[in-house]
Amino acid sequence: MDIQTNLRKVLSDIPPHVMLIAVSKTKPADMIQAAYDAGQRDFGENKAQDMAAKFPQLPQDIHWHFIGHLQTNKVKYIAPFVSLIHAADSLKILKEINKQAKKHDRVIDCLLEFHIAAEESKFGLSMETAEDILQSDEYKQLQNIRICGVMGMATYTDDTEQIREEFRHLKSIFNKLKDSSFKEAGYFKEISMGMSGDYPIAIEEGATIVRVGSKIFGARG
């Protein structure tokens, strides 16, 4: 398992306008360092305490992406340094992120997570709920968060047409929001979709960020 070779292989599939996040969840700091030494700077974690534990062990110019479901009582662990929170899916979590960001005198970038898969999931917004949030006075008062785009996960299936349809759906959600709530917002430009099994399809359907773990670091135990 050569991380640098894997990383180069994945990067060769990705056009320059798409950002690769190396998903390092469950992997130790030395594996992250190996990818860093090959030039990778953006890493993804899905547990707040794990990310907070790795942060001081690794170079300070790493951009840390929080890609999992974030509980309100965990935001404080990552608020000082997180680069982008990918899976904001309620007004409650946006308010907590805003509160913690304010404590550290910063603005935290977030993506709204949408439920696009056929699988049942507790997580991810519907368009209707997202619009309710974005039109609420409470949301409009949040000065320490910035919503930079959308995120989603396709169904875990071999049916590539289904996966493609789900990514298209996320892209259409992005376009609708871009034309409504984020008309003047140049920073609203990210579509985070695609993992080891489906990132080439995601790129064809307009991903600006892909999140790839096992194809770089190997299968998780």
> Shortest distance, CB of residue 19 to ligand PLP, whole angstroms?
13
Q: From its phi and psi, is residue 132 left (phi > 0), alpha (psi between -120 and 50) or beta? A: alpha
Residue 149, interface with ligand PLP (CB under 6 A)?
no
> Shortest distance, CB of residue 219 to ligand PLP, whole angstroms?
8
Residue 214, interface with ligand PLP (CB under 6 A)?
yes
| Residues 62-91 interacting with ligand PLP (rule: CB under 6 A) | 67-68
Residue 212, interface with ligand PLP (CB under 6 A)?
yes
* Contact by Cβ (8 Å): 215, 180: no
* Contact by Cβ (8 Å): 21, 41: no
Task: Pick between residue 144 and residue 214 the one whose CB is nearest to ligand PLP.
Answer: 214
Q: What are the backbone angles phi and psi of residue 149, rounded to the nearest 5°?
A: 155, -155
Residue 157, interface with ligand PLP (CB under 6 A)?
no
Choices 91-99, 136-144, 174-182, 211-219 (CB under 6 A): range interacting with ligand PLP: 211-219
Which residues contribute to the site for ligand PLP (CB under 6 A)?
Answer: 23, 25, 46, 67-68, 153, 195-197, 211-215
